[in-house]
Amino acid sequence: MNGAESLVRSLVAGGVDTCFTNPGTSEMHIVSALDRVQEMRCVLGLFEGVVTGAADGYARMAEKPACTLLHLGPGLANGIANLHNASRAHVPIVNVIGQHAIDHLRYDAPLTSDIEAIARPYANWLRTSSSASEVGCDAAEAIAAARTAPGQIATLIVPADVAWAEGGKVADVSPVPRPALPAFESIDRATSMLRSGLPTALLLAGNALSGEGLELAGRIAAGTGARLLAPYPITRVRRGAGAVAIERIPYTPNQAVEVLKGFRQLILVGAAPPVSYFAYPGRASVLTSPECEIHALARPGEDYTGALEALADALSLGTKEPIVNKPNRPSVPTGEITLDGLATTVSALLPEDAIVVDEAMTSGRGIMAACAGAPPHDWLGNTGGSIGIALPLAVGAAVACPARRVLCLTADGSGMYTLQALWTMAREGLRVTTVVFANRSYAVLQKEFAGLGVGDPGPRARSLFDIGHPSLDWVNLAKGMGVPATRVTSLDAFARGLRDSYAADGPSLIEIPF
Amino acid sequence: MNGAESLVRSLVAGGVDTCFTNPGTSEMHIVSALDRVQEMRCVLGLFEGVVTGAADGYARMAEKPACTLLHLGPGLANGIANLHNASRAHVPIVNVIGQHAIDHLRYDAPLTSDIEAIARPYANWLRTSSSASEVGCDAAEAIAAARTAPGQIATLIVPADVAWAEGGKVADVSPVPRPALPAFESIDRATSMLRSGLPTALLLAGNALSGEGLELAGRIAAGTGARLLAPYPITRVRRGAGAVAIERIPYTPNQAVEVLKGFRQLILVGAAPPVSYFAYPGRASVLTSPECEIHALARPGEDYTGALEALADALSLGTKEPIVNKPNRPSVPTGEITLDGLATTVSALLPEDAIVVDEAMTSGRGIMAACAGAPPHDWLGNTGGSIGIALPLAVGAAVACPARRVLCLTADGSGMYTLQALWTMAREGLRVTTVVFANRSYAVLQKEFAGLGVGDPGPRARSLFDIGHPSLDWVNLAKGMGVPATRVTSLDAFARGLRDSYAADGPSLIEIPF
C-alpha cells in the first residue's frame, strides 16, 4: 500500500468519509487512491473557495469534519477566505494539501511555494508528512486535532513522493480530548448573576445554539427571566416553531447597541463579547453598555452543554420548560415585491426541517425574524465576515443532509465571489434552492460609507458600489452551470418559484431584481 | 489632508495611476480619497483574483506597476494565487490592503486576521503604515520596491484610522536602484562558451524577451550560431513577423527534453535553469542533459540588456543582424474544427500589434508556433502555474493598452477560476476577444495521470477530470456578465466570430466545444 492509499484509508477509518476537492498533478496519486477506497465520497469544485466553504457547511451539519484535497500553495490560497470564516466559527476541517516531491523542491519549479507559511494563519494544527509510513498516522492526528473542541482547522501537507512511495500504514483513530467543564467559580458566578435580579442575557455560540445546549439555556432563561442572544456571525442555530426562542444581535452597530443597552449583565457561553465588525471614527467598538458586566461561563473549547447543565442544577430549575417559538405560519402574500413580502413568502413556504443558509446582507435582513414561527429549521450564517460563502456552504450542507431541503439566500455581490458552487450543485444533484437578491450594488458598502461619516459618495465611490453596469444576469449564470433558473418580479412569481424549486429533485435558482 | 488622500496622491506622484480594486468597509476612506484624486483610474473586480491578475497583466504591458486595493486579510487571500504567478515572473505590483483601525484590533472582531502573515509569502516588501503622516512615504517606498529589478511585489497594509486621520503628507518619489551589470567574469565566461563551437542556447527571461534585449540576443545568436530559447512560463515575449526568432521550451517534460538534449551549453539571461513543473517517479527534474553546462550570464535583478550588450561587444559582432521571423500569413481555413485549423485561423486573422494572453494548456498548444509569421504581437503566458490567470491578465493588458486588441485564449477548466473577469471587461468596454476551448475536462490532468505512471484512471479519477457533467455553457456565462458571446462548431464560424469580435468596440467571447 502506498502512502496515498494509507492516507485515504486512515481518513475513512477516522470517520472522515467526504472529500471536497480540486486536485492537480501533485495530488494524482491521492486521486488514484480514491479510486481504490470507495467509502470516501468525492465532491469536485471548480474553484477552491467552493471546496473549503463546502467543507465548512458539511461539518456544521454533519457535526464531524470533511476533508479537502487541494493543489499546492495556490490551491490552498484560493480556499483561505472561506477557511477564515470556518476558523472564526471553530468549524472542524481536515485540509490535505499536495506538495511537490521532496527532491523536486530544490529546483524551485514554477509552482513551488512555502505552503506551511500560506497555511499557518488558518491552521490550528499543521504538519508536512515526511514518509509514506507516517502519513496515515498524520491523518489520524489531523482528525483528532480537527475534532478537538471547540473545533479546529487541521492542515496536512503531503509531498507527492510521500503519496507515491510504498510502505503506507493505515492508522488507528487517535483519541479526541473531551472538552473540560468550566471551573466551579465560573458556574457559581453565573448563578449569582442570574439570581441578582439585574437585566441579564446569555449569549450562546457553538453547540449551545442547538440540541441539548439550547434546551438547557432555554430552561435557564425561562426560570430566571434572562434573555437568550445569538451573535450576528452565527454558525448554526435551531429555529422555528417549537425551538427555544432566541434573538440574534443585529449586524448594524446602532441596532446592536439598541438590543444590548438594557442589559447590565451578559453571560457568555462559548461566545466572544459583542463588538462591531468595523471601527467607526469616534465610536466605541464594544457594543454593550459600559455598565454591563460580562462573564464567560464557558470559554471556547470548554463543555458548553455541561456548563449549562451545571448552571441549571445550581439554579434548581426543576422541571421548568423553556419558552419556545409558537407555530406561526403566515399566508402567502401576493402583489409587488417588498422586503416584508419577500420575508413573509419565505416563511410561508419554508419546508419542514429546512437548512437555511443566509448571506443576504442587505435585502435578506428581515427573513430570519419572519421565520420564527415557520416549521423547525436550522439557520447557517457567515461567521467570519469574508463574503462569498453562502453558495459553498449550501453545497456542503446539502451533501451532509441529502434528505433535507437547503434554502440559500444570497445577493448578487456576495454570490459572485464563489458562483462556481452552482456547478457542483448541478453535478451532485443537490436539493438546493438559491435565491439571489439582485440589488445591483454593494449596498452594504453604501451604508457603511454613510456610517463612517465620510460624507456623500462622489461619482467614483458610487461607481465602485455599483455592480449594475452591466447587470449580472443570474438566470444566464445559473444556466451556464447547469442549474435551472428563473427571474421573478412579483411576490406571486416568487412563491411559485419557491414551490417549484422545493418540488424539484435538484438545484434551482431564483433571481429577484430588487 | 487625511492619510488616505496622501496615500493616493503619493501613488499618483510615483507614477502609479491605475488601481484595480474590490474594496470593503475598512477601505472606505481610501475610496473617498479616490473621489478627490481623479488622476487615479479605478477598475472594479468582483473577485480579488481578478484584481491581482489584472494588476499583473497591466504591469507586463505598461512596464510599470498598478496598485491593488483589497479588503483585509480575506480579500488579500483571494488574490494570492495570482500574486503567486506575478511573483514567479518578477512582475511589479503595489498592493494596498485595508486593516482594521489599530484600536479595533484588540477586540478580535470577525474580520480580524494577521494580514502580514497572509501577505508575507508573496511580498518582497511588506509594511503596515503606522500613521497618517507616514503613509504617503510608505507608498513612495512601496513603489520603489516594486520597481526594483527584476520587479517585486510590495504590499502596504493601511489601518483604517491611519487612512482617516488628518496629517497626511504627499511623499516625493523614492529613487529606484538601477540594476547592476554582471561581473566581467560572467560575461567573459559566456563569450568563451559562445566561441567554443559547442551547441549552445541562450535562455532569456524578463525584458530580454522584447525590445533592445531581444534584438541584442538575436544578433548574438546570428553571429555565433547559438539558439534562442524562452522558458515555458513566459511573462511577455515579442513575436510575429519581423520579431527575433525564438523557441519556447514546451511544457511536457518529454518534449522539453527533446528540445534541450542537443545543447552542451546553456546561457541564462534572467532565466532559471529549465526544470519540469512536477516530479515524476524515477525521472529527473532537470530537463537539460547531464552533460550540459549551465552558466548564468545575468541573474534575476541584474541588467539583462546591459549584459547582452557587453556580450555582443565582447564577441565583436559588428553590424550582424538578428534572424527574424518572416511574414507568413496563412489563408483562413474552412471546414471541421481541428487543432491545426484553430491555430491557423488565429494566425490568419491576428490583428496587427495584438496582445495574446495564453492559458489554453491543452487545446491551444499549437497556436503560438502557428503565429510566428503573423503580424507583430506580444505573447503573455501563465508564469507560475497557478491556473486561472488568463481572463484577469487580459483585463489588465487591455487597460494598459486601450488601442491594442487583446486575444485571450483559455479553456473551460482554467477559465472558471476567475470568470468574474468577464464582467470587468464588459464594465470597462475592454477590447478583449476571449476564446474558450471547451474540452469539458481537466485534460491536462488526464495526461499528467498517465505521465505519472499511476496506471489507468478508474471511474472516480475519471469523474474528477470530467467537468462536462453538466457542461459549462460559456455563452450563457458570458451573457450573464454582459459580454456578447457565441458558440462555434466549424472553422468558418470561428473565423467569422473572430472577425466580428475584432471589429467590435468592446469584449466578446467565442466558445469552441472541442
Contact residues on chain A for B427, CB-CB shorter than 8 A: 469-470
What confidence score (pLDDT) does residue B41 get? 98
pLDDT in tens, A490-510: 999 999 999 999 999 999 999
CB B313 within 8 A of CB B324: no
pLDDT at residue A304 greater than cutoff 90: yes
Pairing verdict, β B237-239 and B377-381: antiparallel
> Tens digit of pLDDT for each residue in B220-238?
999 999 999 999 999 999 9
Beta bridge partners of B270: B204
Residue count (chain A): 514
Please, what is the average pLDDT of chain A? Answer: 96
Provide the pLDDT confidence category of residue A514 given band limits of 50, 70 and 90.
confident
Per the CB < 8 A criterion, the answer to whether A394 and A24 are in contact is no
pLDDT at B454 exceeding the cut of 90: no
Dig out the grid coordinates for B430 from the structure: 475592454
Residue B442 has pLDDT above 90, yes or no: no
Flag whether residue B323 sits within 8 Å of chain A, measured between CB atoms. Answer: no
Question: According to the model, what pLDDT value does residue A455 have?
Answer: 83
Give the pLDDT band (50/70/90) at residue B14.
very high
Asked if the C-beta of B284 comes within 8 angstroms of chain A's C-beta atoms, the answer is no
Least confident segment among A42-51, A280-289, B58-67, B442-451: B442-451
Report CB contact under 8 Å: B461, A417: no
Mark B387-408 as b/e (b = at least 16 C-beta within 10 Å).
bbbbbbbbbbbbbbbeebbbbb
- Report the pLDDT averaged over residues B155-168: 98
Query: Which of B74, B88, B426 lies nearest to residue A470, judging by beta carbons?
Result: B426
- Which 94-153 residues of chain B touch chain A by CB within 8 A? 100-101, 103-104, 107-111, 113-114, 117-118, 120-121
pLDDT tens string B349-394 = 999 999 999 999 777 889 999 999 999 999 999 999 999 999 999 9
Task: State whether residue B460 sits within 8 Å of chain A by CB.
Answer: yes
Residue A321 CB: number of other CB atoms within 10 A?
A: 12
Identify the pLDDT of residue B365: 82
pLDDT at B470: 95
Average pLDDT over residues B102-125: 97
Does residue B23 sit at the A interface (CB-CB below 8 Å)?
yes
On whether any CB of chain B is under 8 Å from the CB of A472, the answer is: yes
Contacts of B68 in chain A (CB under 8 A): none
Contact assignment for A46 to B286 by CB distance below 8 Å: no
Residue A107 pLDDT exceeds 90: yes
Taking CA atoms, A95 is separated from A9, A164, B215, B258, B282, in Å, by: 15, 19, 49, 38, 28
**From CA B353, how far away is CA B238, in angstroms rounded?**
10
Interchain CB contact of A279 with B (< 8 Å): yes
C-alpha separations of A445 from A348, A468, B32 in Å: 31, 14, 12
Q: How far apart are CA B480 and CA B420, in angstroms?
A: 10
**Cβ count near B283 (within 10 Å):** 15
**Closest chain A residue to B231 measured between Cα atoms?**
A110
Alpha carbon distance A262, A247 (integer Å): 14
Could you tell me which chain B residue has the CA closest to the CA of A119? B118
Asked if B459's CB is within 8 angstroms of A482's CB, the reply is: no
CA–CA distance, A394 with A506 (Å, rounded to integer): 13
Question: For chain B, what is the mean pLDDT?
Answer: 96
User: Rounded to whole angstroms, how far apart are CA atoms B287 and B253?
Assistant: 7
Q: What is the pLDDT of residue B209?
A: 97
Give the whole-angstrom CA distance, residue A271 versus residue A286: 14
* A–B CB contacts, 8 A cutoff, strictly below: 302
Taking CA–CA distances from A452, the nearest residue in chain B reads B28
Residue B453: per-residue pLDDT: 82
Distance from CA of B306 to the nearest CA of A (A): 26
Amino acid making up residue A328: N
Closest residue to B275, CB basis, from A107, A417, A448 = A107
Task: Measure the CA–CA gap between B259 and B278, rounded to whole angstroms.
Answer: 18
Q: What is the DSSP annotation of B210-250?
A: SHHHHHHHHHHHHHH--EEEE-SS-S-EEESTTSBP-EEPP
Is A385 part of the contact surface with chain B (CB cutoff 8 Å)?
A: yes
Q: Strand order of the sheet with strand B247-248?
A: B247-248, B227-230, B200-204, B265-269, B293-298
- Other Cβ atoms closer than 10 A to B175: 9
List the single residue in B100, B471, B476 with the smallest CB-CB distance to A278. B100
Q: How far apart are CA A29 and CA A277, in angstroms?
A: 43
Contacts of B452 in chain A (CB under 8 A): 25, 28-29, 164
Best B70, B107, B410 residue to mutate vs chain A (most A CBs within 10 Å): B107
CA distance B404 to B357: 13
What local confidence, expressed as pLDDT, does residue A416 receive? 98
Q: Which tens digits make up the pLDDT trace of B239-251?
A: 999 999 999 999 9
In tens, the pLDDT along A354-370 reads: 999 999 977 788 999 99
pLDDT of B288 over the 90 cut: yes
Run of H or E residues at A330: none
pLDDT in tens, A421-461: 999 999 999 999 999 999 888 888 888 888 888 888 999 89
pLDDT for residue A396 is more than 90: yes
Of A51, A54, A64, nearest to A17 by C-alpha is A64
Percentage of residues in chain B having pLDDT higher than 90: 93
Dmax (CA) of chain A:
69
| Contact check, Cβ <8 Å, A420/B423 | no
At B205, phi and psi to the nearest 5? -145, 175
Whether B354 and B379 have beta carbons less than 8 Å apart is answered as no
To test the contact with chain A by mutation, choose from B460, B463, B479, B508 the residue with the greatest count of A C-beta atoms within 10 A, namely B460
- The H helix count followed by the E strand count for chain B is 20, 18
pLDDT band at B443 (very low <50, low <70, confident <90, very high): confident
Of B44, B233, B383, the CB nearest to A464: B44
**pLDDT tens figures, B40-98:** 999 999 999 999 999 999 999 999 999 999 999 999 999 999 999 999 999 999 999 99
Q: Could you tell me the pTM of the whole model?
A: 0.98
3-state secondary structure of A168: coil
pLDDT exceeds 90 at position B159: yes
**Cβ-Cβ contacts under 8 Å, B111 against chain A:** 277-278, 384-386
Q: Does B81 touch chain A (CB under 8 A)?
A: yes
Which residues from A are below 8 Å from B472, CB to CB?
Answer: 423, 480-482
How far does the CA of residue B94 sit from the closest CA of chain A (Å)?
19
Bridge partners (DSSP) listed for residue A137 = none
Mean pLDDT of B249-278: 96
Q: How confident is the model at residue B316 (pLDDT cuts 50, 70, 90)?
A: very high
Q: Evaluate if residue A33 carries a pLDDT over 90.
A: yes
A457 interface with B at CB cutoff 8 Å: yes
Distance, CA of B118 to CA of A83 (rounded, Å): 12
Window 389-448 of A: residues touching B by CB (8 A cutoff) are: 413, 416-417, 419-420, 423, 426-427, 444-445, 448
Kindly provide the residue ranges of all beta strands, DSSP E only, lying in A300-447, ordered along the sequence.
354-358, 377-381, 406-411, 432-438
Closest Cα of chain B to A166: distance in Å? 12
- C-beta neighbour count of A323 within 10 angstroms: 15
Between chains, do B281 and A28 touch, taking CB under 8 Å as contact?
A: no
Contact assessment for residue B295 and residue B268, using Cβ atoms and an 8 Å cutoff: yes
Q: Contact, A86 vs A155, CB < 8 A?
A: no
Q: Where are the alpha helices (DSSP H) in A202-338?
A: 211-224, 253-260, 304-314
Cα(B438)–Cα(B472) distance, integer angstroms: 8
Residue type for position B478 = A
Q: Do A471 and B482 touch (CB under 8 A)?
A: yes
CB contact under 8 A, A28 and B463: no
Contact between chains at B109 and A285 (C-beta distance less than 8 A)? yes
Looking at the complex, does the CB of residue B245 fall below 8 Å from at least one CB of chain A? Answer: no
Contact flag A458-B25 (C-beta cutoff 8 Å): no
The pLDDT of residue B353 is 98
- Region A393-403: mean pLDDT is 98
Q: Does A471 touch chain B (CB under 8 A)?
A: yes
ipTM here? 0.97
E-assigned strands of A129-246?
153-159, 200-204, 227-230, 237-239
Q: What would the DSSP string read from start to end of A77-141?
A: HHHHHHHHHHHHTT--EEEEEEE--HHHHTT--TT---HHHHHGGG-SEEEE---HHHHHHHHHH
Contact yes or no for A477 and B475 at CB 8 A: no
Q: Taking CB atoms and an 8 Å limit, are A104 and B279 in contact across chains?
A: yes
B303 — pLDDT class (breaks 50, 70, 90): very high
CB distance B470–A463 less than 8 Å? no
Please name the member of A273, A457, A476 whose beta carbon is closest to the beta carbon of B480: A476
Measured in angstroms, the CA of A137 and the nearest CA of chain B are apart by 23
Between CA A249 and CA A239 the distance in angstroms is 15
